[in-house]
Structure 1
Amino acid sequence: MSSKILKQYKERITEAYKLHRKYVNPQFVRVLEVIGYDRNYVSAEGAYLTDSKGVKVLDFLSGFGVYNIGRNHPHVAQVLHEVIDAKTASLVQMDLGVLSGMLAEKLAELAPGDLDAVFFTNSGTEGVEGALKFARQASGKHKVVHCHHAFHGLTLGSLSVNANKEFRDRNTPLLPDCVPVPFNDLKALEDVFRAGDVGSFIFETVQGKGVFVPDDDYLQGVRDLCDRYGVLMIADEVQCGLGRTGKMFAVDHWGVKPDLLVISKALSGGFIPVGAVITTREIHGKIFDSMERCFAHSNTFGQNDLAMAAGLATFEILEQENLVENSAKMGELIIAGLEKLSEKYEMLTEIRGKGLIIGMQFGEPKSMALKASWKLLHKMNVDLFCQMITMPLLEKHNILSQVAGHGLDTVKILPPLMINEDDVDKFLTAMDSALKEAHKITGSAWKTVKDLGVRTAKTS
């Protein structure tokens, strides 16, 4: 039996925005149109997207970190075709799949320390929910400490450990006893731990919102405090894991072993949603502690054969193509190039990152003319300035990037781990051009963004 779906896809490719405006999320359609991101992409391969006009765009966003191995990798596609053609007995439920066992074995082999018990999920936020639930049951305590600027997902449990007001609004009350502390502040963490009622501390090893990197002594200090006060340490590496920082797991940079490790996004190879919570057999055994509790936590699709095969194929690519090492090398080149640009342009004040998760911090200029425009933009909208960088990167240089978080004045890039030196040079050249325009008070960049602020105010 043949299907008309692909034929209809090709025929209706230009209707994407119309369909989403009518049936999905009209406000997101408006956002994309206002900032000039409405490109209508029709195909993708490796580090590049192709729009309906045939223009190739260098994807330095990677689906928020999904495409570590690049888009539509042929090896993963081939493996998935082979699994489909094999007609495997997936999701029998009252049986066990060998592919899920194989992927669990691989994760246990790669994870730090004695993390060798795996629970598969469908997404990062589901993984966070599971980790919070595991930690509560294993510790016997329900208080959770999390960090300012944290992002752990948008389901209610995950949202309870997000410290961003823009996501929490209209959702309270959330889970009780979720206490925020500053990232990189061991004293504040210990002050909360002293009461003895904290069950777990959850953190992103490298924070996605703003790209904040832990101080050299921070994670070991966290590990010591968690051991001292009997608190379980949960590392959320949904975005920063699986090679993105130049190590397989970001915690490997500091030689620290968490009690629970959450991954997702890149594990999928960009094809089938999948995630995992990796923990110790001791913690796992406190949740699944009897035959009656073998389903103490479960889901329907978590161990489906296609997701498991995608995960296994992704690891084959990461290893065969040396993508973790390439991430470290390309990240060093980008950061070094950006630091040189920061010496040239006063508003680029700091570069933060590890491997290929990189944040560019902007700050108020000293020159009076630029300072006045800076203040005016921030009075109009605290997020406007970074559009002066991201919009021309896409419009003039065909490079996709993002603003890193509300009110942070940070632009963020998450390139695929398989980029090369030509891609790095293209990006740095484009950044030089965008920064040059942003530092011209009479330039088109300021006018464009001021007009954007006016249009945003009128439509909000």
Structure 2
Amino acid sequence: MDIVSLVKNRLEETYDLHRRYINPQFVRVLEVIGFNRNYTSSKGAYLYDADGRKVLDFLAGFGVFNIGRNHPLVAKVLHEMLDADPPNMVQMDLGGISGLLAEALTAVAPGDLDAVFFTNSGAESVEGALKFARQATRRHKVVHCAHAFHGLTLGALSVNGNREFRDRNEPLLPGCIQVPFNDLDALEQALAGGDVAAFIFEPIQGKGVFVPDDDYLPGARALCDRFGTLMIADEVQTGFGRTGKMFAVDHWNVVPDIMAVSKALSGGFVPIGAVITKRAIHARVFDSMERCFAHSNTFGQNDLAMAAGLATLHVLQSEALVERAAEVGDYLLAGLREKIGRYEMLHEVRGRGLMIGLQFGEPKSLSLKTGWKLVHKMNADLFGQMITMPLMEKHHILSQVAGHGLDTVKILPPLVIDREEADLFLNAMEDVLQDVHRFPGAAWSTTKKMAVRTLQSA
């Protein structure tokens, strides 16, 4: 079977096949916003489509490709593993390579996190973390934050702070309590009963790129210690160098009791995730031979995922990508913040490292205010597309809207970018912002066309 030729020969059928067999509504979305390109290859920070266009990837698979797309070292390691005919997933045995990756993860994890359980995704890591906390404490309540995103399986969804994802799924897991993000008083009130198993949080929230005050996470750590609550850090998107530290909690020198990771760990080659925790907590879950399978899965320790994880950690460290994320991230943040005073709809730029959110808001000038209100009357989520669509159509840069109804554009470029790619984005954003601040103008026309396409495809 020549799979490469098969895909190439039927590439033009991609959207029809997805429309027929997978998710026709997502096909409609891509067609309406003009993101319907057939990509044929990728390398580093770039995607290449069937029309020969080169696209700068500032989405990185929602943060999967921290080391860039198709990194040659990870590909080489995977080829070597396949050629070695490994004794993969014997199940009633131990995988040697999974022990090596567990050792490597505990070496880079904060503090005394020294026990690992492997998973296949971020949502599964969150599910495992919640189970570990409930079993270790013998409590069932979990506190989570508004705007939090922890995954879309039912347990993870129960601690998801976004209404649009919870709809049609309730009742969810009982005992889940929502508090405002970055509010220590609300967290103290929620924990004060001494009956909460865990407080789960994203160090920097992915939906909106909300960064906490410097005293929030240290204060939350103290509150969890005071009330006997375990602290779960969801580092699924913020981990492995994304924010300019190996893990985002390192910015505040906070050591959680349990950490959920995934996304970037395999370099984007193989689904992988992990729950990294303290040995004492792990021992309360797996506390006897009869309970050696108190939590388990089939594919978690598969050899290809483990090999990709080891290779990815090596790349992050040998190529100093964490440090590069901090340096290039500071450069991007400074360049974007310089634009705030010159463009009245750009209200704030927030983030750490290469996880950055651009917050837009209502302008003061009368003409722009008219356009702003008109767009939001059409659709509360439409304005962000006025930024991302011309970035793609005119400048060939892939980005995303950060969340429903937030007027926030988010960038998550691979950590391999340098100042040249940063300047490409800054110059493109300057051009897009100029258009958006001319009413009527090209950006507003693009939005009108999108609205028409939406009505026509309904």
Query: Quick one: distance in 1 between partners of 2:249 and 2:162?
Result: 24
* Partner of residue 348 from structure 2, selected from 338, 347, 350: 350
Q: Which residue of 2 aligns with 1:376?
A: 374
In 2, are the aligned partners of 1:347 and 1:364 still within 8 Å (CA)?
yes
Amino acid at match of 2:120: N
Distance 1:270 1:169 in 2: 30
- 1:247 corresponds to which residue? 245
Aligned ranges 1:191-340 → 2 under 5 Å? 191-340=189-338
Q: Which amino acid aligns with 1:96?
A: L
Task: Structure 1: give runs of 5+ residues left out of the alignment.
Answer: none
Q: Distance in 1 between matches of 2:46 and 2:35?
A: 15
Please give the alpha-carbon distance, in whole angstroms, between the structure 1 residues aligned to 2:187 and 2:449. 43
The question of whether the paired residues in 2 share the 8 Å contact of 1:239 and 1:264 is answered with yes
Q: Deviations over 1:356-387 (max 9, x none)?
A: 00000000000011101101111110010111
Instruction: Give the AA of the match of 2:50.
Output: S
Cα distance per residue 1:296-344 (max 9 Å; x no partner): 0000000000000000000110011110000000100100000011111
1:42-441 paired onto structure 2 within 5 Å = 42-441=40-439
The amino acid across from 2:445 in the alignment is K
Q: Distance in 1 between matches of 2:93 and 2:50?
A: 46
Partner of 1:49, secondary structure, is strand
Deviations along 1:199-241, one digit per CA (max 9) or x if unpaired, are: 1000011100000011101000000000001110000000010
**421-430 vs 441-450, which deviates more?**
441-450
Work out the CA distance in 1 between the residues paired with 2:162 and 2:11.
Answer: 36
In 2, distance between residues paired with 1:435 and 1:262?
37
Q: 1:14 aligns with which of 12, 28, 36?
A: 12
Distance apart, 1:67 and its partner CA: 0.1
Between the aligned partners of 2:178 and 2:375, the Cα distance in structure 1 is 30
| CA shift in 2, pair 1:188/1:325, >3 Å | same
Q: Distance in 2 between matches of 1:394 and 1:451?
A: 15
Q: Distance in 2 between matches of 1:425 and 1:341?
A: 14
Q: In the alignment, which residue of structure 2 is the partner of 1:38?
A: 36
Q: TM-score, normalised by structure 2?
A: 0.99
Aligned mates of 1:277, 1:457 — CA distance in 2: 44
Per the TM alignment, residue 454 of structure 1 is displaced from its structure 2 partner at its CA by 4.0
Contact conserved, 1:205 with 1:235, CA < 8 A, in 2?
A: yes
Distance 1:115 1:27 in 2: 42
Instruction: Please state how far the C-alpha of 1:458 moved relative to its aligned partner.
Output: 5.4
Residues 381, 453 of structure 1: 8 Å contact kept: no
- What amino acid does structure 1 have at the position aligned with 2:225? D
Letter in 2 for 1:325: E
SS in 2 for 1:92: coil
Which one of 443, 446, 452 corresponds to residue 445 of structure 1? 443
In 2, Cα distance between the equivalents of 1:108 and 1:145?
26
Q: Which runs of 5+ in 2 are unaligned?
A: none
* Number of residue pairs aligned between Structure 1 and Structure 2: 458
Where 1:163 maps in the other structure, the secondary structure is coil
Cα offset for 1:455? Answer: 3.5
Percentage of identical aligned residues: 69
> By how many angstroms is 1:450 displaced?
2.7
Task: Give the letter aligned to residue 388 of structure 2.
Answer: T
Deviation at 1:193, TM superposition (A): 0.9
CA distance in 2, matches of 1:145, 1:459: 41
CA contact (8 A) 2:206 2:402 kept: yes
CA offsets 1:402-439 (integer angstroms, 9 cap, x no match): 00000000000000000011100000000000000000
Q: Counterparts of 1:373 and 1:238 in 2: how far apart (Å)?
A: 37
How far apart are the structure 1 equivalents of 2:440 and 2:8?
Answer: 43
Q: CA deviation at 1:457?
A: 4.7
Structure 2 letter corresponding to 1:250: A
1:278 alignment partner, SS class: strand
Deviation at 1:13, TM superposition (A): 1.4
2: CA distance, partners of 1:279 / 1:457: 50
Shift of 1:453: 2.7
Letter in 2 for 1:48: Y
Quote the offset at 1:459 in angstroms.
4.2
Deviation by residue 1:275-299 (Cα, 9 ceiling, x = unmatched): 0000000000000000000000000
Q: Which amino acid aligns with 2:173?
A: L
Report the RMSD for the aligned CA atoms in angstroms.
0.8
Q: 3-state SS of the aligned residue for 1:307?
A: helix
Question: Is this contact kept in 2: 1:202–1:236, CA < 8 A?
Answer: yes
Aligned residue for 1:93, secondary structure, equals: coil
Name the CA distance, whole Å, in 1 between partners of 2:341 and 2:306: 46
Distance in 1 between residues matched to 2:418 and 2:108, nearest whole Å: 26
Pairwise CA distance, 1:4: 2.2
**Alpha-carbon deviations, 1:108-146, whole Å to 9, x = none?**
111111100000000000000000000000111111110
CA distance in 1, matches of 2:240, 2:397: 23
Instruction: Indicate conservation of the 8 Å contact 2:28/2:457, yes or no.
Output: no
Distance 1:327 1:101 in 2: 29
On the 8 A contact 1:404/1:412 being kept in 2, the answer is yes
Q: Deviations over 1:145-192 (max 9, x none)?
A: 100110000000000000111101111111111111111000010111
